[in-house]
Amino acid sequence: MRRIYFNEVVTRDGFQNEPAFVPTDTKIALIDGLSRCGYAKIEVTSFTSPRAIPMLRDAGEVMGRIQRVPGVETTVLVPNVRGAERALESHADEFNLVMSTSETHNLANLRMPRENSFAGLRDVIALARGRAAINVSLSTCFGCPMEGDVAEDEVIRWADRFAELGVRGLTICDTTGMAHPAQVARMSRHLLARFPGLQITLHFHNTRGMGLANMLVAVQEGVDRFDGSLGGLGGCPYAPGATGNICSEDAIHMLQAMGFDTGIDLDLLLPLARALPEIVGHDVPGQVAKSGRISDVHPAPDGVAELRHQFAQQP
């Protein structure tokens, strides 16, 4: 059975876009629950400016108090050297560095040109060497809500620059759900051929309903790592029209039905998804938590047994 690795991002990408602060204890309980489900990785929080992302201002405390489960990596989003210093204190297994392939989105999200981001992240990589694994998430790789198309060659150019710095992995992000399956298939082939030694992860948002289709074509091309968010929460606060990530439990349910090994126990995960609306105070997009698994069969309505019997009697 082919293994597909999931990184759960609900407490980072999911929560960063929520208006009401989720209490620290609630975050910790959720992360501890997720840690028992079989994820390869959990993106716990981000060490960003607390003024930019107030929801995650408790990153240090959260990292200090969660249970570390062997086999489940913790990763934290790091935008700059200040963030890396805080992340080092937290003993995260991985730093997830972030910058955008679109100049406009980088200015909106990180308040600096891409070259400045790159220089800062190069310093972060030097600082973290030997102390944490490095993944780089490149935002808006399938299109920018302000610039429109982002050329595949531009994505590869930034990916090359980070690959040269010796990173362990690259996450290619569809920050605002602009990717379509034909584009994802092309990009997946290109990435796998060019970076055979790197962990390649794809990060999709379901903004236009193409999230699971995009994941599936990437799986078919050989990509085996995906970000997903419990309940389908998520979105970048600095991207107009951003909505949720692909929903973890829906994606996992689909892949398991198709015979893939995700390592994840849906019996443990679905109750966490069902508790999520209570935590964020509103309904969430995920569907399997509402409808149940395809293997959940329901009793037939009254009268069906009688009808079956009647028809069985007819010649």
Which residues of this chain interact with ligand COA, rule CB under 6 A?
A: 16, 46-53, 79-80, 82-83, 86, 98, 109-111, 139, 236, 238
* Nearest residue to the partner Zn ion, using Cβ: 13
Among ligand COA, Zn ion, none, what does residue 101 contact (CB within 5–8 Å per kind)?
none
To ligand COA, the closest distance from the beta carbon of 80 in angstroms equals 5
List the catalytic residue out of 37, 144, 173, 236: 236
> Would you call 37 a catalytic residue per the annotation?
no
Rule CB under 5 A: is residue 8 a binding residue for Zn ion? no
Nearer to ligand COA, 63 or 219 (CB): 63
Rule CB under 5 A: is residue 13 a binding residue for Zn ion? yes
Which segment (9-17, 48-56, 74-82, 284-292) binds Zn ion by CB under 5 A? 9-17
Nearer to Zn ion, 13 or 58 (CB): 13
Among Zn ion, ligand COA, none, what does residue 269 contact (CB within 5–8 Å per kind)?
none
Which segment (5-13, 23-31, 37-45, 97-105) binds Zn ion by CB under 5 A? 5-13
Residue 138 CB neighbour total at 10 angstroms: 23
Which residues have a catalytic role annotated?
A: 236
Which residues sit at the interface with Zn ion, rule CB under 5 A?
A: 13
